[in-house]
């Protein structure tokens, strides 16, 4: 069995072929570079060079996509839910088109939840890549201070949400800020990264991945049936169809910015547990249900 253990965070199984899903926009599809220069392709090539068996990467990304476009594309695609490596890089077009970091937060949270689901619910198989700073390109240098402030605000959101959820976060933004000093790092369009910059991204990503055998105790057949009702709710929500393997479950609640607002231990009776939401303010909440550290289900509910 091959094993790569460099830093300590995102993980993929190495006893089976690496199945990588890359979610994003122009930076993931590699606008203005050749197919083999795209960073997801370079990442898989690098893993193969290290002895790992890999499928070709699956890329769901298009130039110009915002968070809502990517979400729609995921929903409209037929995708597996057992990828052992999933990346998410999205948000630059939200910023470029004048949308706020505050409106970006719940959409990014929802996309990260989709990424986790596509990784079979395993947080260790997911990583987020920060948004590069296009203020350090010929295209953006005239508005550099404005662009940089916006990119920083959006990256503060995606980083805080990623860290709150225990997801590996790869900060490539500082590499992107070498674009004016090192013109070879910018593609011929004067805006997007070149293949050489993507190579630097891949080096940093590999410095923050663990590729090893990962054993998960989650019984997918049992956990798919877990349901929450009523949703929306006002005083309490019932969690039904819990597995028979345990009586106590940990439930984490977050607001739309990803901030943890409560953690509760729920006791199950006849595969059911009741969550008291009477003290919560009206609004949207995200939840994660776990048993002995293994995530069973996540999603959102509305308190009204």
For residue 195, the model assigns a pLDDT of 98
What does the pLDDT look like over 159-195, one tens digit per residue?
Answer: 999 998 889 999 999 999 999 999 999 999 999 999 9
* Domain residue extents for the chain: 4-211, 220-303
Locate the DSSP E strands across 13-149. Answer: 20-24, 58-61, 85-88, 126-129
In CATH, which superfamily holds the domain spanning 4-211? SGNH hydrolase (3.40.50.1110)
Question: Residue 294's pLDDT is what?
Answer: 67
Element (H, E) at 265: strand 260-267
Which residue carries 């798919």 as its tokens?
224
**Identical fold at 4-211 and 220-303?**
no
79-94 per-position pLDDT tens digit: 988 899 999 999 999 9
88, 129 Cβ separation under 8 angstroms: yes
Q: What percent of the chain has pLDDT over 90?
A: 61
Instruction: Report whether pLDDT(237) > 60.
Output: yes
Domain 220-303: give its CATH code.
2.60.40.1930
Q: What pLDDT, on a 0 to 100 scale, did the predictor assign at position 289?
A: 86
Q: b or e along 247-270 (b: 16 or more beta carbons within 10 Å of the residue's beta carbon)?
A: eebbbbbbbbbbeeeeeeebebee
Mean pLDDT over 119-143 rounds to 95
**Rounded mean pLDDT, 254-258:** 76
> Is 79 exposed, middle or buried (CB count within 10 Å of its CB: 0-12, 13-18, 19+)?
middle
Residue 95 has pLDDT above 50, yes or no: yes
User: Residue 158's closest CA among 124, 132, 185, 194?
Assistant: 132
Tell me what the pLDDT averaged over the chain comes to: 87
For 132, residues 6+ apart whose C-beta sits below 8 A from its C-beta are 27, 92, 151, 172, 173, 175, 176, 193
Give this prediction's pTM.
0.69
The pLDDT value recorded for residue 11 is: 53
For tokens 């901030």, what's the residue? 259
């Amino acid at each position: 069995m091959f094993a790569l253990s460099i830093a300590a965070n995102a993980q993929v199984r190495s006893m089976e072929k690496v199945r990588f899903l890359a979610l994003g926009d122009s930076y993931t599809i590699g606008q203005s570079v050749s197919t083999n220069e795209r960073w997801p392709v370079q990442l898989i090539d690098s893993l193969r060079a290290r002895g790992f068996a890999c499928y070709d990467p699956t890329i769901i990304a298009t130039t110009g996509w915002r968070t809502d476009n990517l979400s729609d594309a995921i929903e409209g695609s037929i995708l597996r839910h057992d990828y052992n490596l999933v990346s998410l890089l999205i948000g630059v077009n939200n910023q470029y088109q004048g949308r706020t970091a505050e409106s970006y937060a719940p959409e990014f949270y929802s996309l990260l939840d989709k990424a986790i689901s596509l990784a079979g619910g395993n947080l260790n198989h997911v990583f987020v890549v920060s948004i590069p700073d296009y203020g350090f390109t010929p295209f953006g240098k005239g508005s550099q201070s404005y662009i940089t402030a916006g990119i920083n605000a959006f990256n503060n959101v995606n980083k805080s949400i990623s860290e709150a959820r225990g997801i590996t976060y790869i900060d490539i933004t500082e590499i992107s800020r070498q674009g004016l000093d090192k013109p070879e790092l910018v593609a011929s369009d004067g805006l997007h990264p070149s293949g050489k910059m993507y190579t630097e991204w891949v080096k940093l990503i590999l410095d923050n991945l663990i590729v090893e055998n990962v054993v998960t105790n989650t019984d997918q057949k049992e956990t798919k049936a877990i349901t929450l009702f009523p949703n929306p709710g006002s005083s309490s929500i019932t969690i039904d169809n819990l597995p028979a393997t345990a009586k106590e479950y940990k439930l984490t609640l977050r607001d739309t910015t990803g901030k943890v607002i409560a953690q509760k231990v729920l006791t199950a009776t006849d595969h059911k547990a009741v969550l008291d939401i009477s003290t919560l303010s009206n609004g949207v909440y995200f939840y994660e249900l776990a048993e002995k550290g293994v995530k069973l289900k996540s999603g959102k509910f509305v308190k009204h």
